[in-house]
Amino acid sequence: MVTLWKTNQFLQDFKKEEHAKMAILASAYQKLIEVKNDNQPLFNLSSMILENNHTIPVIIVDKNDHIVFYRNFSKNKPAFLKKKLQAFKQTDKHFKLDLGKGDYQILYYGNSSLLNKLTYYPLILGGIFLLFLIIIYLYYHTGKISDENKLWSGLAKETAHQIGTPLSSLMGWVELLKAEDNIDIPVEEIEKDVQRLNVISQRFSKIGSVPVLTQADIYKITQKTVQYIKNRSSKWIDIKLHKPAKPVCALVNEQLYAWVIENILKNAIDAMKGKGQIDIVLTESDKQVLIDISDTGSGIPAGKAKRIFEPGFTTKKRGWGLGLSLTKRIIEQYHKGKIYLRQTSAKGTTFRIVLPK
């Protein structure tokens, strides 16, 4: 900042110096016109002052606005000089030369090439300084994101590892129960929950790695998840998946996409406090698939709506606030799509998921 201030101060001083030079030049030109042939020394001095101006562009016009003198221009074509004259007239850089008996001329001048360069120097210096700040910010910001990614990946993989050990044991016990054929034990339901644990383990194992995306029917995947949530929700919860007129397909990882839908549905059920309706509508355009999930809950307070996707943020008394953060990561980083809060009010909330086809 000190450098910029010093540069600007120097620039202002340089402008004053050029103005002073032009005042002397204007005086010399006027004397040159007034001089008699018998006043040779004054004529030579004035002529020398005019000839020694090699940097500042000058145009002199008579009282009829006709150009009578010009100097230090890259072109000498009349059209070019008239254009420059009009530009000079937009500034206060001029001197009136009184020739006596009502006659006069006006000397207009512009910035020298050096002054023009110096004018842009503070801007260039400021731009370099700003670029330097941006590079520093990106360096630390990228480092922070990298650390967060490592934390997410490590947490997910460790969770998958921890679930995997008891899961293998449970699978073995289920097989033993099947062999005993004991009708008093709901082996099929136990097996479903064990399979569910296996799916959860696989989901976590995919966090931090590049998931495989395949072309899939979004309605069918969503339907499976809706059915799973329905079977484990209150009978006062009505989840309606509106079937599109034709199959709606997109590139997805089935397990991770199902996880996203499950997270949003669970949040909606919590918001409705065990009673209400959830509507899921699938639409498509030429390049995108849109999934709107609406509930009849109490909505999200305006002050908290902007933070719902932040890691650790939650409006619940219990929970780590990771559900929507993971959801955003899955949709935007892994599927190159978007997820956002489309609308929220006291009558309910709508989330929109956008997936590229």
* Residue 355 per-residue DSSP state: E
Cβ neighbours of residue 185 closer than 8 Å, sequence gap 6 or more = 177
Q: Is 308 exposed, middle or buried (0-12, 13-18, 19+ CB in 10 A)?
A: buried
d(CA 308, CA 311): 8
pLDDT at 10: 59
Residue boundaries of the structural domains of the chain: 2-111, 140-209, 211-356
For 31-40, the pLDDT digits (tens) are 666 654 445 5
pLDDT at 326: 83
Q: Check: CB of residue 239 under 8 Å from CB of residue 265.
A: yes
Of residues 254, 279, 262, the one with CA closest to residue 355: 254
Residue showing tokens 């005993």: 180
pLDDT at 312: 64
Residues in the chain, pLDDT under 50: 36-38, 42-43, 45
Q: Check: CB of residue 284 under 8 Å from CB of residue 217.
A: no
Query: Mind giving me the DSSP string for 212-272?
Result: PPEEEEHHHHHHHHHHHHHHTS-TTEEEEEEPPSS--EEEE-HHHHHHHHHHHHHHHHHHT
pLDDT at 97: 78
Predicted TM-score of the model (pTM)? 0.50
Q: Give the pair of three-digit tokens for residue 31.
A: 């004397």
Strand partners, 353: 291, 339
Q: SS3 letters for 301-319? A: CHHHHCCCCCCCCCCCCCC
Q: Which CATH class is domain 211-356?
A: alpha beta
For 160-198, the pLDDT digits (tens) are 555 655 566 566 666 766 666 655 556 666 666 677 677
